[in-house]
Amino acid sequence: MTNIMINICLNCEKETKTESIKTKEKFKVRGEAIELNVEYFKCLECGNEFRPPKSTVDPINQAYREYRKRHGMLQPEEIRERRERYGLTQQEMSRLLGWGLATLSRYENGALQDEAHEKAFRRAVEPHNLLKLIEETPEAFSSAEKGARLVKELKALDEESRSFENIYEERFGHYSPDEFSGYRKLDIEKFTNAILFFCIGGILKTKLNKLLFYADFKHYKDYSLSITGMRYARYPYGPVPDKYDYYFATLVDENAIGVSEEFYPNGYSGEQLTSLKNPDLSLFATSELKLLASVKEYFKDMTSTSISEFSHQEKGYINTPERQFISYEYAEELRY
C-alpha cells in the first residue's frame, strides 16, 4: 500500500515528495523472527527512507512486546505495576533483588529483560516471598519505618487470603514456599479451580492427578514458580497432590464436581470426576492459563494407565522415595 505525501527529507534538507509505504518486516529478537506491520517514508528524489516524523511507534519496542507475549513474560508496565503495588521505589526493589538500579529502570522503560531476571522478579513479588525478602534485607529501605510498615501490611494481606486455607492447615499443617511447593505459597483457590478446569467433560482421578502435577512442574520449569503452590508426592500410580482426596471430597460436598464409577471391559474400574460448575479462570495469569490449556491438550489422548507410565519415567519420580515429596528442582529435566 503506497501514498504520495510532502515531507521534509533530512537527506535532501528540503520538502520533497515522499512515498508512504506500509509493509511487513521481520525483526530478530534473541534469534527468533518476529514479523510486524511497519510504516515508513521513501523520498522520491534521493531514495532515503525514514520513519514518519510524528510517529511514536518504535518497531523494536513492538518486537520486544511481541516476544514477551509469546514467551509469557511481563511487559514493562506490568513490572512497574507490580512494584508500585507495594509502594516500593525502583531503588528499594532493586536492593531487594540484588540488582543494579539501572537494570530495573531499563526493564520498566522497555528494555527486554533477561530470562533469569524475569523469573527472579516474578518470584520476588509473590506476597509471601516478598515478605521474606524484606525481613532478610531490612537495609533495602532508607527508612526502617517503611520496611516495618510494609512487613505489617504483607502479613495482614497474607491473613486476609486465609479462610479455606485455615481449615486445611488445622487438619494437615502449614508449609512455607520452598523447593517442594515451587516457591509459591499454597493457593487453594487456584488449585481447586485448576481441578475444575481439568474436570470439564469428565476425567478419571488418576489422570487428573498427573495433569495437575505436570501443570505445576512445567510452569516452574518455564517461570521458576509453580501455579498453585501444591506439593506432590511419589505414589505407586505416579505423582499425586498432597492430600488430594481431601480437596476432591470437599468439591464433591460443595456440588462443584460430580463423581461416578467407570467400568472397563478388562474388568478394571475407576472414579471419574466431572465439573458441575465453571472454573474461575480470572484467578490465573496469562502464562498459567496457557500452561493449563497446553497440558490438557498434550495429554488428551493418553489413558490413565499411559500417563501414569509416562510419569514413572520422570527423574523426579524415580529419585524420590515412596510417599515423599518431589522437589520442583527436577522440573528442569521434565519429559514434557
Q: What percent of the chain has pLDDT over 90?
A: 60
State the Cα–Cα distance between residues 41 and 186, nearest whole angstrom: 54
Q: Are 306 and 327 in contact (CB under 8 A)?
A: no
pLDDT 10s digits, 188-225: 889 999 999 999 999 999 999 999 999 999 999 998 89
pLDDT, residue 267, reads 59
User: Would you state the pLDDT for residue 129?
Assistant: 87
Taking only the tens place, the pLDDT of each residue in 60-81 is 899 999 999 888 789 999 999 9
Residues 227, 336: Cα–Cα separation, whole Å? 16
85-132 pLDDT, tens digit each: 999 999 999 999 999 999 999 999 999 999 899 989 998 998 888 999
- Give the torsion sign (CA, 63, 69, 73, 74): positive
Local confidence band at 162 (pLDDT 50, 70, 90 cut-offs): low
Is residue 186 within 8 A of residue 165, CB to CB? The reply is yes
Question: Checking phi first, is residue 110 left (phi over 0); if not, alpha (psi -120 to 50) or beta?
Answer: left
- Extended beta strands in the chain, E state: 2-9, 14-29, 32-43, 49-50, 203-204, 232-235, 238-241, 257-263, 269-275
267, burial (CB in 10 Å: exposed 0-12, middle 13-18, buried 19+): exposed
pLDDT of 38 higher than 80: yes
The residue among 40 and 46 whose pLDDT is bigger is 46
Q: Considering the chain, what percentage of its residues have pLDDT values greater than 70?
A: 91
Helix (H, G, I), strand (E, B) or coil at 85: coil
* Whole-number average pLDDT of the chain: 89
- Secondary structure (DSSP) of 62-81: HHHHHHHHHTTPPPHHHHHH
Find all residues with CB under 8 Å of 230, minimum gap 6, and list them: 181, 182, 186, 191, 212, 216, 241, 242
State mean pLDDT over 137-149.
90
Q: What residue ranges do the domains of the chain occupy? A: 2-57, 76-160, 164-333
pLDDT tens per residue, range 235-249: 999 999 998 998 899
For 33: left if phi > 0, alpha if psi spans -120 to 50, otherwise beta; the answer is: beta
Per-residue pLDDT, averaged over 237-262, amounts to: 91
pTM, entire model: 0.62
Cα–Cα distances in angstroms (integers) from residue 267 to residues 86, 125, 203, 236, in the given order: 57, 50, 19, 20
pLDDT of residue 123: 87
- CA proximity to 95, closest of 87, 84, 82, 104: 104
Cα 172 to chain centroid, rounded: 27
State mean pLDDT over 289-314: 95
